[in-house]
Structure 1
Amino acid sequence: MRFTPFDASEFLDDEEAIAEYLAAALADPDPDLFVAALGDVAKARGMRQIAREAGVGRESLYKALTPGSKLRYETIRKVMDVLGVKLTVASRV
């Protein structure tokens, strides 16, 4: 039996799915999970276009959205702005 690797970007086809996916990744304490999720969303929307609109090189964006990278907040903000999503802060209470 052969299995193909799971690619989350194939299922991120609307804003609600993207928002829920990023929120779930952000809720996990592992920061690499959020970086990978942001990369999945960028891939789903077209990495070349996201990079162009965010003002970063495509290869640089691929490297930045790789788990383990030292992603800067500035890059996160640019990518999220292009994707049309935002981070919010809420009390746990």
Structure 2
Amino acid sequence: MTNDDSKYLLDSLDGIEGLTDFNVVDYLTSPEAIAAYINDVISSGNSDLMKEAIKNVLQAKGVAKIAEQAGLTREGVYKALRPSSKPQWDTIRSLLTGLGLEVRVVAIGDSKGPALAA
């Protein structure tokens, strides 16, 4: 008997009664939800996941609107967040600011410690 996990992989939930595909964008409806999502992704330390999370939030809020608030072009935002890109800190910070978010730094192990605005 072989262990074939591929039989458990689903490309889609279409046709399975009572289940629908999950799209995180549908749940990014409040500033608190967005902040919690971004914080969770940041804690992973995965920069590709961070770019994907920012794209999800931009999709939820409207790319053109946030790009304008961030002082960037829509095309520039897409270019900065494509998989092969390595966006500058200023670009990420501008996007987060456009989303109404700020980056704070706390000491490791002290999630309630003093924060420094970035």
TM-score range, shorter chain: 0.7 to 0.9
RMSD: 1.8
**Are the aligned partners of 1:39 and 1:66 in contact in 2 as well (CA < 8 Å)?**
no
Residue aligned with 1:34, SS: helix
Match of 2:52 among 23, 36, 57: 36
Q: Percent identity?
A: 35
Count of residue pairs the alignment pairs up: 93
Distance in 1, matches of 2:63 and 2:84, equals 19
Q: Which has the higher helix share?
A: 1
Unmatched 5+ residue regions in structure 2? Answer: 1-12, 110-118
Scaled by the length of structure 1, the TM-score of the pair is 0.87
Which range moved further: 55-64 or 14-23? 55-64
- What does 1:1-93 correspond to in 2, within 5 Å? 2=14, 6-93=22-109
Residue aligned with 1:92, SS: coil
Which range moved further: 5-14 or 19-28? 5-14
Unmatched 5+ residue regions in structure 1? Answer: none
Q: Rg larger in 1 or in 2?
A: 2
List structure 1 segments (4+ residues) > 3 angstroms apart after TM superposition.
3-6
Distance in 1, matches of 2:14 and 2:92, equals 36
Letter in 2 for 1:23: N
Scaled by the length of structure 2, the TM-score of the pair is 0.70
Structure with more relative contact order (C-alpha pairs < 8 Å, separation 6 or more): 1
Q: Deviations over 1:20-54 (max 9, x none)?
A: 00000000021111111111111111001111121
Q: Deviations over 1:46-89 (max 9, x none)?
A: 00111112121112211212333211111111111111111111
